[in-house]
């Protein structure tokens, strides 16, 4: 499934994390420098070393893989397909896992989770983008959300995936904005993805731990 | 409880063996109702280069940031990264680093400011915004860069999260006109920024009702009740203030 990100005519400046035996090393797979920096800083701050993904094998070897999102799947593909000049990274790890996105598209996603990523509707009286600190409605007892308590988490996005009967088993939390109760995080097995920004300033992050 | 909720999510992913919170607390979590989008208090750090070439956080009356002393030095409220780190610990929701004067020259050449942002992002895990200089630019060799090229160029500097959203800053003036004819004779009275003691509630209400994007209210204020008022009376999503941070006038 990672081929989607690797298959560009120019290798992304990038980050993928892998764990190497006993040492605390995280493999980071990223699209571009800017957005990933704050995530790198956060991982280092927590006492982990980072190893960037250089080859597809690095991904297979990784025990912890951090996959930062990008801002718009379509824009990103186009960028790499073009002159590869600037990467407008930012937020999309979670959205990438769905069937398709209307952001800069429609474009196909990885199709792991049923559903289409669509924009918030500002005609319904909500401000778009959804920027700021919002609360989660916890849907699943998942360890990474253990400390959330009553705290809010930081979002910045204009597109969102909505819960449905088909994707319900993936959802670990939702967030309410206007009439929308969109998907804020997913968890299944060792795969975690969040729509919010755990590092508070970088992109949206998708995590996966190879089984 | 981990001090930073966002970092705890990351830590729990990176180290799944860290202990779980107690079951009854987790069950309570599942049952609680979702709340709504919170209003943000954004801390504005006005960064200038002083005469020694160091970047300092300053505060001024419009563009005059110099002390009224014989030395006439740039008012120095502290080092940008140290202050940001302190206010992050104090609970600031986000930061805006503004350098309106240095960026006027050549934004891409403002390496000290970019360095400040790099250091800040290593310690401050809330959103950072940088202000100034995002505009069309012609360099010394006559090379023209359109606003978006300028932006793109800056985004290559490997900055933290600066480019995930664009904030447009408007510095409005309330203009009082006694006689429409007076306008032609340029005798319009302009209220200077910085003279108002509070948020301009009417103006912020008008703007926040007119657009569907988030609006950040900016005002020269330091009092908690001013924040309460602007959030109660208008649809602003956030309020920005320098005084709260620079002088610790509000907790």
CA nearest to B114, candidates B74, B83, B154, B147: B154
pLDDT in tens, B30-51: 555 546 788 888 888 888 777 7
pLDDT in tens, A112-122: 899 999 999 98
Task: Pick the more confident residue, B227 or B30.
Answer: B227
- Among the ranges given (A163-167, B42-46, B175-179, B188-192), the one the predictor scored with the smallest mean pLDDT: B188-192
Which two three-digit tokens encode residue A106?
A: 């429609």
- Please state the φ and ψ torsions of residue A187, each to the nearest 5 degrees: -155, 130
**Cβ neighbours of B8 in A, within 8 Å:** 146-148
Residue A22: Cβ within 10 Å count: 6
Res B250: pLDDT = 38
Share of chain B above pLDDT 90, in %: 4
Which two three-digit tokens encode residue A154?
A: 């930081």
Q: Please give the domain boundaries of chain B with CATH numbers for all domains.
A: 38-164 (3.20.20.70), 172-246 (no CATH)
Per-residue confidence band for A203, with pLDDT thresholds at 50, 70 and 90:
very low
Report the DSSP beta bridge partners of residue B75.
none
* Rounded Cα distance, B244 and B251, in Å: 8
Residue owning tokens 């290559």: B156
Q: Does A161 touch chain B (CB under 8 A)?
A: no
From the centroid of its chain, how far is CA A81? 21
Which two three-digit tokens encode residue B143?
A: 């090379």
Q: What angle do CA A61, A66, A67 make, to 5 degrees?
A: 110
State which H helix or E strand residue B111 sits in: helix B111-123
Res A173: pLDDT = 92
> What's the average model confidence in pLDDT over B155-178?
61
Q: Which of A32, A91, A103, A192 is catalytic?
A: A91
For the CA atoms of A83, A84, A86, A87, the dihedral, rounded to the nearest 10 degrees, stands at: 140
For the question of residue A130 being annotated catalytic, the response is: no
Is the pLDDT at B170 greater than 70? The verdict is yes
State which H helix or E strand residue A57 sits in: helix A56-61
Per-residue confidence band for B151, with pLDDT thresholds at 50, 70 and 90:
low
**Cβ neighbours of B161 in A, within 8 Å:** 34-35, 37-38, 90, 201-203
State which H helix or E strand residue B241 sits in: strand B238-241
Cβ-nearest to B164 among A48, A91, A133: A91
Per-residue confidence band for A58, with pLDDT thresholds at 50, 70 and 90:
confident
Task: Pick the more confident residue, B51 or B180.
Answer: B51
Q: Half-sphere exposure (CA, 13 Å, Cβ side) for B115?
A: 8
**Cβ neighbours of A184 in B, within 8 Å:** none
Q: Which chain A residues in 25-84 lie under 8 Å from chain B, judged by CB atoms? A: 26, 33-35, 37-38, 41-46, 48, 64, 66, 71
> What's the average model confidence in pLDDT over B144-169?
59
Q: What angle do CA A84, A160, A59 make, to 5 degrees?
A: 50
* Rounded Cα distance, A178 and B205, in Å: 20
Report the DSSP beta bridge partners of residue A191.
A188, A208
Is the pLDDT at B74 greater than 60? The verdict is yes
Res B222: pLDDT = 65
Task: Pick the more confident residue, B240 or B49.
Answer: B240
For the question of residue A199 being annotated catalytic, the response is: yes
* Rounded Cα distance, A92 and B167, in Å: 20
CA nearest to B13, candidates A37, A195, A18, A145: A145
- Among the ranges given (A16-25, A47-56, B5-14), the one the predictor scored with the smallest mean pLDDT: A16-25
Q: Does A176 touch chain B (CB under 8 A)?
A: yes
Residue B249 C-alpha, separation from nearest chain A C-alpha, in angstroms: 24
Q: Please give the domain boundaries of chain A with CATH numbers for all domains.
A: 25-72+83-200 (3.40.50.880)
**Cβ neighbours of A48 in B, within 8 Å:** 14
- Please state the φ and ψ torsions of residue A39, each to the nearest 5 degrees: -70, -45
Cβ-nearest to B165 among A45, A147, A156: A156
Max mean pLDDT among A110-114, B25-29, B138-142 falls in A110-114
Cβ-nearest to B125 among A37, A175, A200: A200
Residue B221: Cβ within 10 Å count: 24
Res A87: pLDDT = 22
pLDDT in tens, A60-110: 777 777 777 654 443 333 333 222 222 222 234 788 889 998 887 788 888
> What's the average model confidence in pLDDT over B139-145?
74
pLDDT in tens, A191-202: 788 898 887 633
Is the pLDDT at B210 greater than 80? The verdict is yes
pTM more than 0.80: no
* Rounded Cα distance, B4 and B11, in Å: 10
- Dump the DSSP string for B32-89: SPP--PPPEEEEEEEEEE-TTS-EEEE--BTTB-B-SSSS-PBP----HHHHHHHHHH
Task: Pick the more confident residue, B4 or A182.
Answer: A182
Report the DSSP beta bridge partners of residue B248.
none
Which two three-digit tokens encode residue B43?
A: 């801390």
Q: Do B121 and A152 touch (CB under 8 A)?
A: no
Q: Do B214 and A139 touch (CB under 8 A)?
A: no
* Rounded Cα distance, B233 and B39, in Å: 13
- Please state the φ and ψ torsions of residue B97, each to the nearest 5 degrees: -100, 115
Per-residue confidence band for B155, with pLDDT thresholds at 50, 70 and 90:
low
Cβ-nearest to B9 among A64, A137, A145: A145
3-state class (DSSP) for residue B102: helix
Residue A105: Cβ within 10 Å count: 17
* Rounded Cα distance, A25 and A48, in Å: 6
Q: Do A34 and B161 touch (CB under 8 A)?
A: yes
Round the average pLDDT of chain B to a whole number and report it.
70
Which two three-digit tokens encode residue B37?
A: 């989008």
pLDDT in tens, A125-180: 899 989 888 888 889 888 888 877 777 888 888 999 999 999 999 999 999 999 99
Q: Which residue of chain B has the CA closest to A203? A: B161
Query: Are the C-beta atoms of residues B173 and B195 closer than 8 Å to each other?
Result: no
pLDDT in tens, B88-114: 877 788 888 887 665 555 555 555 677
Is the pLDDT at B21 greater than 50? The verdict is yes
CA nearest to A167, candidates A107, A130, A117, A203: A117
């Amino acid at each position: 499934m990672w081929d989607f990100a690797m298959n560009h005519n120019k290798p992304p400046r990038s980050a993928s994390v892998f764990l190497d035996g006993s040492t605390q090393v995280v493999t980071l797979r990223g699209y571009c420098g800017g957005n990933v920096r704050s995530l790198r800083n956060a991982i280092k701050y927590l006492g982990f070393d980072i190893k960037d993904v250089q080859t597809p094998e690095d991904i297979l070897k990784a025990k912890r893989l951090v996959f930062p999102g990008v801002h718009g799947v379509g824009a990103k593909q186009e960028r790499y397909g073009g002159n590869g000049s600037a990467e407008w990274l930012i937020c999309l790890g979670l959205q990438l896992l769905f069937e398709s996105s209307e952001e800069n598209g429609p474009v196909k996603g990885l199709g792991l989770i049923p559903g289409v990523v669509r924009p918030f509707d500002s005609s319904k009286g909500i401000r778009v983008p959804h920027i700021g600190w919002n609360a989660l409605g916890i849907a699943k007892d998942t360890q990474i959300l253990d400390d959330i308590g009553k705290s809010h988490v930081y979002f910045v996005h204009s597109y969102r995936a909505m819960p449905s009967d088909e994707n319900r088993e993936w959802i670990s939390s939702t967030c309410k904005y206007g009439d929308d109760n969109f998907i804020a995080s997913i968890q299944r097995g060792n795969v975690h993805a969040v729509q919010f920004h755990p590092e508070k300033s970088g992109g949206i992050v998708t995590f996966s731990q190879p089984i | 409880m981990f001090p930073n909720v966002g970092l705890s999510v990351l830590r729990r992913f990176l180290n799944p063996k860290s202990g779980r919170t107690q079951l009854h607390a987790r069950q309570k979590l599942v049952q609680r109702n979702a709340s709504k989008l919170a209003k943000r208090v954004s801390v504005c750090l006005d960064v200038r280069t002083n005469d020694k070439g160091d970047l300092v956080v300053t505060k001024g009356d419009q563009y005059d940031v110099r002390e009224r002393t014989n030395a006439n030095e740039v008012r120095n409220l502290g080092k940008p990264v140290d202050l940001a780190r302190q206010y992050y610990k104090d609970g600031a929701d986000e930061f805006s680093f503004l350098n309106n004067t240095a960026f006027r020259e050549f934004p891409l050449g403002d390496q000290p400011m970019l360095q400040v942002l790099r250091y800040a992002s290593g310690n401050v895990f809330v959103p950072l915004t940088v202000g100034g200089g995002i505009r069309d630019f012609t360099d010394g060799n006559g090379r023209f860069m359109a606003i978006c090229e300028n932006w793109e160029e800056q985004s290559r500097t490997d900055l933290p999260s600066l480019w995930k959203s664009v904030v447009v800053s408007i510095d409005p003036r309330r203009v009082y006109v006694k006689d429409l004819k007076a306008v032609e004779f340029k005798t319009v009275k302009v209220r200077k920024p910085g003279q108002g003691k509070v948020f301009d509630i009417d103006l912020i209400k008008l703007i926040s009702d007119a657009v569907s994007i988030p609006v950040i209210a900016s005002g020269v204020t330091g009092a908690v009740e001013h924040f309460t008022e602007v959030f109660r009376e208008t649809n602003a999503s956030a309020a920005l203030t320098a005084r709260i941070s620079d002088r610790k006038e509000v907790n």
